[in-house]
Amino acid sequence: MPPRPQAFTNLAEEKSRKSPKPSNSPSKGRNVSQQPGQLTFVAPRRAKPARHLADLSMADRRAAVTELGEKAFRADQLSRHYFERHTADVGAMTDLPAAAREKLSALLPTLLTPVKELTTDGGTTRKTLWRLFDGALVESVLMRYPDRVTMCVSSQAGCGMNCPFCATGQAGLTRNMSTAEIVEQVVSGARALAAGEVPGGPGRVSNIVFMGMGEPLANYKQVIGAVRRIVEPAPHGLGISARGVTVSTVGLVPAIGKLADEGLPVTLALSLHAPDDELRDTLVPINTRWKVAEVLDAAWSYAARTKRRISIEYALIKDINDQEWRADLLGKLVRNKLVHVNLIPLNPTPGSKWTASRPEDERAFVRRLEFHGVPVTVRDTRGREIDGACGQLAAAE
Ligand code: SAH
């Protein structure tokens, strides 16, 4: 675990001492576009990014290639270059005639432009800030471990779910990302790994977590498209095992039901953060629509359908949700289920009056859950010092 950045924590505590009025919003001085508790489901209407190969199923790619005046099999060739070799430069596709390259380049527009790259952990954690075609900013994080490489990707520019402890939630929703914009984050990581740019030698992406900016299930169609491109074998897609893909949600109950019907055995992570409606209504405002009992029911149905263990995400916030009685209540709600509880020490966002739990409270919380026989881990906080840890992705330049 990387050392805790002392200056960062002190700043958060300093501000809280000066701010006597309790408030749900930890984002003083920042561009707050949502009132506390306000939810935004429908993304603002905006110009759409250009159509890209990764937006399309293989059948649609063949049709698109034909429309461009090329033989349908060129779609397979192009797909191999993109999904297997991670090449988007048609100039390098020497198996294609020059005239074909020119035409087919229309299916590989540049969607993401890197603005900033920050690394830590000796280069094995790297966060990239991307600019989209319309100036919207999103971030992705690559984390290399001895046995796997996980990429944390964004699914929306901003987020409409307004969780008061989350940096992304404070800025509101700019727009939904397209399938290809989501996939491109993974392809760029895969490219860097294959080229040996990440310490540890050439490697592959093994895990994808939809835990960057945005609420994936509020951008359902594009996210499902991206999951399909990620798991389909080459040349259709990247061929990453669905078991390595995690979709994280605040708990959009109808969309959880739909996801269960997709036949994609991805892991569902549920950002619970409180076991009681009273507190969860404020920490995860979507709870005012779908209560703890409803969202847990949806999660158990998901587990029954997919046979995948539900990951319950719980950010431990000092003196807010870390009491032993809440651990007990959580334990009772989830015991004997196909579940794993992931405790995340809160990453304080700039200006937040909230901070991570005391170590002794964290330990007590773990013990109570273990008492109920619930599998529990405390998540590592990789990337914290580059603001790349959970909930810190704010895309400020
Ligand atoms: N919208 C989705 C996915 C993005 S957030 C969701 O909420 O699940 C990914 C995870 O980081 C969620 O569990 C979220 O609650 C958590 N998170 C957000 N802000 C955090 C913070 N400041 N500290 C720790 N975890 C945080």
Q: Is 180 contained in some domain? A: yes
CB distance 168 to ligand 1 below 6 Å: no
Q: Which atom of ligand 1 is nearest to the CA of 213?
A: 4
Asked whether the beta carbons of 219 and 251 are under 8 A apart, the reply is: no
363 and 231: one domain? yes
Q: What is the pLDDT of residues 105-132, one digit of tens each?
A: 999 999 999 999 999 999 999 999 999 9
Q: Does 2 map to a domain?
A: no
Give the residue, by CA position, lying nearest to ligand 1 atom 9.
211
Q: Is 165 in the pocket of ligand 1 (CB under 6 A)?
A: yes
CATH number assigned to the domain comprising residue 236: 3.20.20.70
**One domain for residues 152 and 246:** yes
159 is catalytic: no
Atom of ligand 1 nearest to the CA of 349: 22
Ligand 1, from 284, 390, 392, 393: best to mutate by most atoms within 8 Å of Cβ? 390
Determine if ligand 1 sits within 6 Å of the CB of residue 365.
Answer: no
Overall number of domains in the chain: 2
> Residue 250 in contact with residue 273, Cβ under 8 Å?
no
Both tokens of residue 130? Answer: 């991307």
Interval 134-160: pLDDT, tens = 999 999 999 999 999 999 999 999 999
Q: Which of 271, 380, 392 to mutate to test the pocket of ligand 1 (most atoms within 8 A of CB)?
A: 271
188 lies in the same domain as 307: yes
Answer yes or no: is 360 within a domain.
yes
72 alpha carbon – ligand 1 mean position (Å) = 43
* 149 Cβ inside 6 Å of ligand 1: no
Can the peptide bond before residue 235 be classed as cis, meaning omega within 30 degrees of 0? yes
- pLDDT of 11 above 50: no
Residues 6+ apart with CB under 8 A from 379: 342, 343, 344, 345, 390
CA of 110 to the centre of ligand 1 (A): 29
Tell me which of 339 and 380 has the higher pLDDT: 339
Residues 26 and 66 both lie in one domain? no
pLDDT band at 286 (very low <50, low <70, confident <90, very high): very high
| Residue 351 pLDDT | 82
| Nearest Cα residue to 188 out of 268, 134, 115 | 115
Tell me what the mean pLDDT of segment 281-297 comes to.
Answer: 98
Q: In what order do the strands lie in the sheet with 137-144?
A: 113-120, 125-131, 137-144, 149-152, 207-210, 245-249, 267-271, 310-316, 339-345, 376-378
User: Does residue 380 or residue 248 have the better pLDDT?
Assistant: 248
* Nearest ligand 1 atom, CA 313: 13
Whether ligand 1 lies within 6 angstroms of the CB of 26 is answered as no
Which pLDDT band, with edges at 50, 70 and 90, does 44 fall under? Answer: confident
* pLDDT bucket at 350, cuts 50 / 70 / 90: confident
Residue 86, domain member (yes or no): yes
Q: Is the pLDDT confidence value at 20 over 90? A: no
- Mean pLDDT computed over every residue of the chain: 89
CA 273–ligand 1 middle distance (angstroms): 9
Q: Which atom of ligand 1 is nearest to the CA of 249?
A: 8
Residue 23 sits in which domain range?
12-49+111-386
Last residue within a domain, chosen from 82, 107, 132: 107
Question: What is the spatial distance between Cα 1 and Cα 56, in angstroms, rounded to a whole number?
Answer: 40
Q: Which of 107, 122, 142 is the last residue of a domain?
A: 107
Ligand 1 close to Cβ of residue 286 (< 6 A): no
Same domain as 200, residue 339 = yes
| pLDDT tens digits, 65-74 | 999 999 999 9
Residue 390 designated active-site? yes
**What is the distance in A from the centroid of ligand 1 to the CA of 346?**
9
For residue 197, give both structure tokens. Answer: 């740019």
- What is the C-alpha to C-alpha distance for residues 128 and 139, in angstroms, rounded to an integer? 6
- For residues 63 and 198, membership in a common domain is answered with no
- pLDDT of the residue at 33: 63
170 lines ligand 1 (CB under 6 A): no
Q: How confident is the model over 41-49, as a mean pLDDT?
A: 86
Are 236 and 252 in a shared domain? yes
CA 271 to ligand 1 center in whole angstroms = 7
Query: Could you give the angle at the alpha carbon of 214 between the alpha carbons of 218 and 316, nearest 5°?
Result: 110
What is the chain's length?
Answer: 397
Same-domain check for residues 99 and 180: no
Contact 386, 125 (CB under 8 A): yes
| Minimum CA distance residue for ligand 1 atom 26 | 391
Q: What is the pTM of this model?
A: 0.90
Is the same domain home to 223 and 163? yes
Q: Ligand 1: which residue has its CA nearest to atom 8?
A: 249
**Does the residue 85 lie in any domain?**
yes
Q: What angle do the packed helices 324-334 and 292-306 form, to 10 degrees?
A: 40
**pLDDT over threshold 80, residue 334:** yes
Do 91 and 182 belong together in one domain? no
In a shared domain, residues 167 and 89: no
The answer as to whether 7 is a domain residue is: no
Cα separation of the two ends of the chain? 26
Cα of 75 to ligand 1 centre, how many Å? 38
313, 379, 308: which is closest to 345 by C-alpha?
Answer: 379
The pLDDT value recorded for residue 51 is 97
Considering the candidates 84, 102, 139, 181, report the single residue annotated as catalytic: 139
In a domain, 103, yes or no: yes
Indicate which CATH number applies to the domain containing 71: 1.10.150.530
pLDDT-derived band at 180 (thresholds 50, 70, 90) equals: very high
Using 50, 70 and 90 to split pLDDT, how confident is the model at 103?
Answer: very high
Q: Is residue 174 part of a domain?
A: yes
Cα(69) to centroid(ligand 1), Å: 46
Residue 223 Cβ contacting ligand 1 at under 6 Å: no
Question: CB of 344 closer than 6 A to ligand 1?
Answer: yes
Determine contact, residues 217/180, Cβ cutoff 8 Å. no
Band of pLDDT at residue 390, cut at 50, 70 and 90: low
Is residue 350 within 6 Å of ligand 1 at its C-beta? no
Same-domain pairing of 94 and 169? no
Beta bridge partners of 143: 125, 150
Q: Measure 74 CA to ligand 1 centroid, in angstroms.
A: 41
